[in-house]
Structure 1
């Protein structure tokens, strides 16, 4: 297939299309189920915050042979639910242990246990300790929430000024949809929420907004002149055309963005041993980009179309467009019916008199077929001698 006739070009020209807007109830049902699961996960399981948010102690030792499972068992006998993982860096392999806030006695015991398991029993100082206070974690949380509120406010202002308030409301609903589902996935699976995760959340909100604005810009272009110069198309139809026209662009942009994100996730999981900053950032981006792409196509634009169709002018336009399309369909159907000329031209080739006698130019009707009876001449038998023939 040539590039001119490719599927993407046919979508853009409107030769083929999928009714995204017309099936909005289906998308609302899917999103409603995802939101319900996310909210239940957040209430039941909650988010698994790192030490940067809840405070605690972090132990770090350089060792190429220490077993994370052995350290988990020994430290777990001292403090409840320690987090133990390994991480690779330029100077070698490190084992990192994170715990809740500890007393001075517990701190010394954990440090000694880690050094013993790492083969450095007589060198407890080889284990570096970092203490994170709960107040500092609370401040990090507060700053993250403030940044999110400011971001949402600026987004609403931008959309309301450069587009319209209905687009602003639709975009914000899509952003909240993305944020809740992403947070619900983190709670359901048990991913850790770190400062890098918060950065990832803000990034995916910006990415989702970008994708939504691209679709809205095409919607505004397609709906320009509706009700004045354009009366053969409703707002919903123009918006659906915009979604189809930007569909390939949205999918290609998402796939291209997922390539470096997958690289980050691979580097954070395999190379660095997991539970690092790269993994936290990549997980948030991976989940958010997928959810943001979905919302820009299936949530933001259908909500916008529903809001616009409530306007009296758009309801009137929808009725006019339906009438115009019904007339066009009837006209096309009439043009597609074969005329008597077409039918008889095939049945009486080379016989113009018979063609005209059969009713040329009239609508097609069933024409009797079979032998044709010849007319009887009035002078039949005249001037023939009487009697028997010899």
Structure 2
């Protein structure tokens, strides 16, 4: 068995593990800090909305030796607006300029063609209106709202409302972190980004449901046992599914990472790059939240119930009583093994370490005469004589 498989077996049997539930406040603090940073980046820098959302023109050049930096400087010079230039591979450039109408688009294309040393007809120009992007955004928000409502209803029926609430908080946590990363780093928000964000919800929810299923199975007969508290069983369940959850996330991240770093970074995949980027950030956040947010939050909600709190107190009281009884039994066993005072140990010493002899012990039991130290006369002395006097 591999080391990872052996670790998974030990985690499942409860022989090893990390106290996620016991240290949940630390993880809550880390998540809150990340969320605050994400919101700060969103408020300070804002989102870099793509041309599909703000309108403008997209110019695609044929294969050229013009650098990305030069193309961006020239596009901003002739248009008067900020430009985004991407290399799509084999020297093909994609130039996005926002806030342009048809006449401005034609003029910018001609000036770019003249500077790049090519014909204007060789540069493909597409004019995008902001209405299309706003429709996509509205549909995305509607889909997000409907999805979350259905998720809460399903989890409340399949598990319980506390798990549904925890899963909803974890989903919001994942989306917030992903949007915050886009704002801080300055990634462009495109329709591909929206598709990736909606896809994140399914992956994050899948990982959370795997963890919740193990928690439900472990705590099924919770009140019929008196060995573990609810938090301890929840933590044991989480450690039991930890390796499975990590493996699921890694397997999902590997193709996304390949699409992002190879397809986007090397080949310049355009729309696929935007989708892969949002998926990579969202899946990483989802793996994190399903482990350190979802289950500890469910345990927090459950341990607030009067029945669970009362049972946890009984478990802890029984555990303390068993420990006290074991301590008393150990003390009694240790006392029974000590030698009585005045009786020699195996090395010929008494309780205080003083030498003890058998003759001295016998002397204490014999009445003493005037001398106090004369030994008694033998019993056979003077037998068969009229008197004990020596002739």
Taking structure 2 as the reference length, the TM-score comes to 0.85
Q: How does 1:260-339 map to 2 (within 5 A)?
A: 260-273=255-268, 276-333=270-327, 339=333
CA contact (8 A) 1:71 1:117 kept: no
Count of residues in Structure 1 that have an aligned counterpart in Structure 2? 363
Alignment match, 2:141: 145
CA contact (8 A) 1:27 1:298 kept: yes
C-alpha separation between the residues in 2 aligned to 1:4 and 1:114? 57
Alignment match, 1:108: 106
The Cα offsets for residues 94-144 of structure 1, whole Å up to 9 and x where unpaired, read as 111101132344222310232223321xx2011111111111111011111
Is 1:117 the counterpart of 2:115? The answer is: yes
C-alpha separation between the residues in 2 aligned to 1:29 and 1:293? 17
C-alpha separation between the residues in 2 aligned to 1:65 and 1:53? 30
The Cα offsets for residues 18-53 of structure 1, whole Å up to 9 and x where unpaired, read as 211111111111111111111121112111121222
| RMSD of aligned residue pairs (Cα, Å) | 2.8
C-alpha separation between the residues in 2 aligned to 1:253 and 1:246? 11
CA contact (8 A) 2:105 2:127 kept: no
Shift of 1:16: 2.2
C-alpha separation between the residues in 2 aligned to 1:325 and 1:297? 28
Is 1:240 the counterpart of 2:235? The answer is: yes
Taking structure 1 as the reference length, the TM-score comes to 0.85
Alignment match, 2:371: none
C-alpha separation between the residues in 1 aligned to 2:47 and 2:85? 19
Moved more, 367-376 or 47-56: 367-376
Shift of 1:8: 2.1
Alignment match, 2:370: none
Shift of 1:255: 1.9
Shift of 1:210: 1.0
C-alpha separation between the residues in 2 aligned to 1:145 and 1:64? 40
Unaligned runs of 5+ residues in structure 1 are 348-352, 359-365, 385-390
CA contact (8 A) 2:140 2:194 kept: yes
Unaligned runs of 5+ residues in structure 2 are 367-373, 382-391
Shift of 1:375: 2.3
CA contact (8 A) 1:261 1:282 kept: yes
C-alpha separation between the residues in 2 aligned to 1:74 and 1:233? 69
C-alpha separation between the residues in 2 aligned to 1:251 and 1:5? 12
Shift of 1:302: 1.4
- 193, 211, 216: which is aligned to 2:207? 211
CA contact (8 A) 2:55 2:100 kept: no
Shift of 1:237: 1.4
CA contact (8 A) 1:47 1:186 kept: yes
CA contact (8 A) 2:193 2:275 kept: yes
Alignment match, 2:217: 221
C-alpha separation between the residues in 2 aligned to 1:222 and 1:355? 54
Shift of 1:5: 9.2
C-alpha separation between the residues in 2 aligned to 1:84 and 1:9? 51
Q: How does 1:1-390 map to 2 (within 5 A)?
A: 6-79=6-79, 80-88=81-89, 92-120=90-118, 123-227=119-223, 229-273=224-268, 276-333=270-327, 339-340=333-334, 367-369=351-353, 371-376=355-360, 380=375, 382=377
- Residues 53 and 342 (structure 1), Cα distance of their counterparts in 2 relative to 1, 3 Å cut: farther
The Cα offsets for residues 259-305 of structure 1, whole Å up to 9 and x where unpaired, read as 1111111223332237x122211211111111111111111111111
CA contact (8 A) 1:267 1:279 kept: no
The Cα offsets for residues 180-208 of structure 1, whole Å up to 9 and x where unpaired, read as 11111110111111111112112222111
C-alpha separation between the residues in 2 aligned to 1:106 and 1:4? 60
